A and B are shown apart, each in its own frame.
Chain A
Amino acid sequence: KQEVTQIPAALSVPEGENLVLNCSFTDSAIYNLQWFRQDPGKGLTSLLLIQSSQREQTSGRLNASLDKSSGRSTLYIAASQPGDSATYLCAVFGGSSGTYKYIFGTGTRLKVLA
């Protein structure tokens, strides 16, 4: 059974810092991995999607890497801003049993202090 873990569970940093959020998954036979952002009381917004054949994806100040064989992904946020404060979730699609759905981690709650 695919399990997704995110570390740390919460993070508070001063504005301007570069930071790394971690995601690990137990079954490496995935199709892709997505990183999402969720603001309080809102739905999820997709930030980056990495296909299983890719090593990384970049969008603005965000960079996500994928090491499929070791079951890990990281989301790098450069020059953090207070507007980046949100919960960040990773989700993997697929697994050895042919699972055809996204399995989510519990998220990292980020607070960027002005």
Chain B
Amino acid sequence: GAGVSQTPSNKVTEKGKYVELRCDPISGHTALYWYRQSLGQGPEFLIYFQGTGAADDSGLPNDRFFAVRPEGSVSTLKIQRTERGDSAVYLCASSQAGADTIYFGEGSWLTVV
């Protein structure tokens, strides 16, 4: 596609449930990032993929969060045993190379009730 695509755009889930958020980057972009943004804050780094491998996962808050990019294109962010504090917008971005202009998707708005 022309831009970074994220699904679902909105997700409401109950506390304790499992959630998957999907990101389809711009075709040919090798670098993919996941960020989390709370209201009134800047995006907070979660994880960075270069190709299929996670080059930096230092931003994942705990072991309930996990992300994969098995074929070097689409990525899935997985959150286990969701908590109300996980409620935020999850943003995905991609770039041709790491230190390059990055393009963001519209985000997945997660609400844990």
Interface residues of A (CB under 8 A from B): 4, 31-32, 34, 36, 42-46, 49, 89, 91, 93-94, 99-107
Contacts and interface: CB of A to CB of B under 8 A. Distances in A.
A21 B93 CA distance: 24
15 contacts: A34-B101, A34-B102, A43-B4, A46-B103, A89-B43, A93-B99, A94-B99, A100-B55, A100-B99, A101-B56, A101-B59, A103-B45, A104-B42, A104-B44, A107-B42
Given A31-B99, A100-B99, 19 more contacts: A34-B101, A43-B91, A43-B104, A43-B105, A43-B107, A45-B104, A46-B101, A49-B100, A93-B98, A100-B55, A100-B98, A101-B48, A101-B56, A103-B45, A104-B35, A104-B43, A105-B42, A106-B40, A106-B41
A24 B105 CA distance: 26
Interface of B: 4, 33, 35, 40-45, 48, 55-56, 59, 91, 93, 98-107
